[in-house]
Amino acid sequence: MSDPFTFRIDGVAVTAKPGQTIMEAADAAGIYIPRLCDVDGLRHQGGCRVCTVKAGGRSVSSCTQPAEPGLEVENNTEARNRVRRDLVEMLFHEGNHLCPICEKSGNCELQAMAYRLGMTAPTRFPYLEPCRDLDASHPDIALDTNRCISCGRCIRASQDVDGKGVFGYVGRGIHRRVAVNGDNLADTDAVLADKAMSVCPVGCIIRKNEGFRMPIGARHFDHGLIGHEIEEKSK
Partner 1 sequence: MAASRLIEISPVTRVEGHGKVTIHLDENNNVDEARLHIVEFRGFERFIRGRLLWEVPVIVQRLCGICPVSHHLAAAKAMDQIVGVDVLPPTAEKMRRLMHYGQVMQSHVLHFFHLAAPDLLFGFGSDFAKRNIFEVIRQNPELGLRAVLMRKFGQEIIEATAGKKIHGTGAIPGGINRNLDIATRDRFLSQVDQMLEWSQGALAIARGYVEDHRALVDSFGSFPSNHMSIVREDGALDLYHGKMRALTPDGAPIFDMLNYNDYHKHIVEDVRSWSYMKFPFIKELGPETGWYRVGPLARMNTADFIDTPLANEAHGALKAYSGGKLNHSTLANHWARMIEVVHCVEKIRELLHDPDLQGTDLRAVGERRHEGVGVIEAPRGNLIHHYKVDENDQVTYCNLIVSTTHNNEGMNRAVKDVAITHLSGQPKITEGMLNHIEVAIRAYDPCLSCATHALGQMPLQVEIYDAGDRLVDRAGQCL
Handedness of CA 95, 98, 99, 104 (dihedral sign): negative
The one among 28, 83, 90, 136 contacting partner 1 by CB under 8 A: 136
Residues 6+ apart with CB under 8 A from 190: 138, 141, 158, 164, 166, 180, 196, 197
Q: Minimum Å distance from CB 92 to ligand SF4?
A: 7
Site residues, ligand SF4 (CB under 6 A): 97-99, 102, 104-105, 108, 110-111, 147-154, 167, 178, 199-205
| Residues contacting ligand FES: total by CB under 6 A | 12
Residues 203-234 as b/e (b if ≥16 CB within 10 A, e otherwise) read bbbbeeeeeeeeeeeeeebeeeebbeebeeee
Q: Does 46 engage in binding with ligand FES (CB under 6 A)?
A: yes
Q: Minimum Å distance from CB 137 to ligand FES?
A: 30
The one among 5, 12, 49, 220 contacting ligand FES by CB under 6 A: 49
**To the nearest 10°, the Cα dihedral for 79, 127, 226, 190?**
-130
Select the binding partner of residue 42 from partner 1, ligand FES, ligand SF4, none (C-beta < 5 to 8 A, by kind): none
Q: Which residues bind ligand FES (CB under 6 A)?
A: 35-38, 46-51, 61, 63
